[in-house]
Amino acid sequence: MSTAANAESCSVAGRFETGATLTHASATAALAAGLQRIAAGATGVDCTPLAQFDSSALAVLIAWQRAAQARGAALEVVNLPAGLASLAQAYGVDTLLSGRH
């Protein structure tokens, strides 16, 4: 999984990284990659690499959290870019994204 559209592995146990881009064009691939990580036991996602995004990124993050909840776990979202956090607040979904920003 080396493309920016995919969720990338990370050195922190139980956490994976987003790719650099998470837009409408890459959302389906990113969603699938993250769901695989969550199914394998991931409990966190690090958004540090995320440089290009749109509202699709919010949908993917929320879907990942719901998948983790369905497994009886929480998914911690860390290092959410300020612009994406502002977008989440504008859409009224900021409370759905748990974690550190």
- Give the mean pLDDT of 31-55: 97
Q: What average pLDDT does the chain have?
A: 88
Determine how β-strand 15-17 pairs with β-strand 8-9.
antiparallel
CATH code for residues 8-100: 3.30.750.24
Residue 9 has pLDDT above 60, yes or no: no
pTM here is 0.85
Report pLDDT for 75. 94
Report pLDDT for 8. 47
- Give the mean pLDDT of 66-84: 95
Report pLDDT for 100. 52
Please name the residues in contact with 64: beta carbons below 8 A apart, sequence gap of 6 or more. Answer: 31, 34, 35, 38, 45, 75
